[in-house]
Amino acid sequence: MRAAGSLTAADLFPGGVSSPVRAYGAVGGDPPELVRGKGCRVWDSAGREYVDYVCAYGPLILGHGHPAVLEAVAAANAAGGPFGVTTEGEIRLGALIRERMPSIERLRFVNSGTEAVMSALRVARAATGRDLVLKFEGCYHGHSDGLLAKAGSGLATLGLPGSAGVTAAVAGQTVVVPYNDLDAVAAALAANRGQVAAVIVEPVAANMGVVPPAPGFLDGLRRLTADAGTLLVFDEVITGFRVAPGGAQELYGVRPDLTVLGKVIGGGLPVGAYGGRADLMNLVAPSGPVYQAGTLSGHPVVMAAGEATLQQLDAALYARLEATAAELEAGLREARPEARIARVGSLLTAFVPDFASFFNRLRAGGVLLPPSQYEAWFVSAAHDPTAVELTMEAARGS
C-alpha cells in the first residue's frame, strides 16, 4: 500500500491504519487499497471489484455515491462554509431526526459518536448529581476513557480487555454487567444505590457480533432505571435509522431519556448527535451549566449529506432492505450450515468456526467483509440479487 514517494501506510500510521478495526491482523494479509465505490461495490487500486458489506461500518445505508447525496454535498460545498453559526440545513436535519425519533425533543450535533456519548453522559451526571455509569460487556460506546472496559469488537479482535492510559480512578466510575441480564443490572443498581447516573446500552448489540435484545430486556431496563432514578441512554450510533425509521427505540417500543446518534445521520461524513428530553438537554450550554462545544459541529456539508440520506429512507426502502438482508441470511444458512447467523434488519453477523479462512475465501471470490468476527455486516439499499448471489457463490466455495 504505497503513498507518496516510497512511503507506505505502515510508515505513516500506527499499524498502518487510522482506526484499529481496519487492520487485517485477525485475518492475515494486507487490506486492499480502495479507490472508488458505487452502489454496493468498491474497487481497489489494482482494479479488483468487490461486493462491499463494510459500507464504512454503517453510514452508507444507501450505498456508495448515491446521486441525491452527491448532489446535496456538491451544492452545500459550492455555497461555502462552514460559517460558525447555525444554518438552515442544520435546522432541517434536526427537525427530520426529531420527527422520526419523538424521544428526542432537543438535540445537539457533534462530530463523532465518541463525542456524542461523552457529552450525553456528562448531561446525565449533571442531571442526577451522580458519578457512576453502568454499561454492558461487549457494547462499544466510543473510545472515551471511562467506556473502554470490555468494549466490543475492536478490543476483542485485538485481544485487549481495555486500554492502556485509562486511569484507575476513571475506570472505577464504570460498572460493567453482562448484556441481556436484567438480574445483573438490578443487583448492580442495588449495590450502588443512589450512585448510578445512567445506564447506557446498544439496544441491539452490534460490536460483539449482532446480538438482539432478549424479550423484555429493554423494557426491563426502562423499568429498573426509572425505579432507581437513573437515566436510560440508548446508543443508536449503529441502529439509528438503520433497523427501523425511528431506530431500535421504535422497533422495540422503548423510549429512552437520552439517545446518541451517528453514522446514517451524516450520510457517510463525520457526524454525531445526542438528544432527548427537553429538560435534560436544556442543561447544555448556553441554556444550562453543562459545557460542550465544537468548531465544526453542524457543518453544512455534513448536514446536507445527512438530510439527503434521511429523505430517501421511506417505507419502500426499509422493505427492500429487509428483503435483501433476509435473502442473504437464508443463503448463508444454506451455503454454510455450520455457521450461526444473527440478524436484525440490515445488520448481520455470520459466526463460523474459522473466520479467517471464511473471510479470505470470500475476498478471493470478490466479497469484502469487515476483517473481524465481531463486526456486523451492513446491507445497503444498493445491494441487489446479483450481489447476494455472488456472495452465496463465494460462501459455498469457502
pLDDT digits (tens, 9 = 90+) for 34-56: 999 999 999 999 999 999 999 99
Q: What is the mean pLDDT of residues 145-163?
A: 62
> Rounded to the nearest 10 degrees, how much is the dihedral formed by the CA atoms of 187, 375, 110, 68?
-140
φ, ψ of residue 134 to 5 degrees: the values are: -105, 130
Task: Please enumerate in sequence order all residues whose Cβ is within 8 A of that of 365, keeping only pairs 6 or more positions apart, or say none.
Answer: 390, 393, 394, 397, 398
Task: Find the catalytic residue in 53, 235, 274, 318.
Answer: 235
24, 140, 179, 374: which one is catalytic? 140
Architecture of domain 68-312 in this structure? 3-Layer(aba) Sandwich (3.40)
pLDDT of residue 147: 87
Q: Inform me whether the pLDDT recorded for 2 exceeds 60.
A: no
pLDDT at residue 155, rounded to an integer: 55
**What confidence score (pLDDT) does residue 204 get?**
98
Q: Which of 24, 52, 263, 318 is catalytic?
A: 263
φ/ψ of residue 318, rounded to 5: -65, -35
Q: Does residue 189 carry a pLDDT above 90?
A: yes
Domain boundaries, the chain: 68-312
One-letter amino acid for residue 218 of the chain? L
Give the phi and the psi of residue 262 in degrees, each rounded to 5.
Answer: -175, -155
140 is catalytic: yes
pLDDT higher than threshold 80 for residue 283: yes
263 counts as catalytic: yes
DSSP 3-state of 23: coil
Instruction: For residue 11, indicate whether it is catalytic.
Output: no
pLDDT on residue 168: 81
* CA distances for 287 relative to 119, 280, 282, angstroms: 15, 11, 5
* pLDDT confidence of residue 398: 59
State which H helix or E strand residue 261 sits in: strand 258-262
Chain centre to alpha carbon of residue 242: 10
How high is the pLDDT of residue 163?
A: 72
Query: Looking at the predicted structure, is the pLDDT value of residue 149 above 80?
Result: no
pLDDT of residue 156: 53
Percent of the chain with pLDDT over 70: 95
293-348 pLDDT tens trace? 999 999 999 999 999 999 999 999 999 999 999 999 999 999 999 999 999 999 99
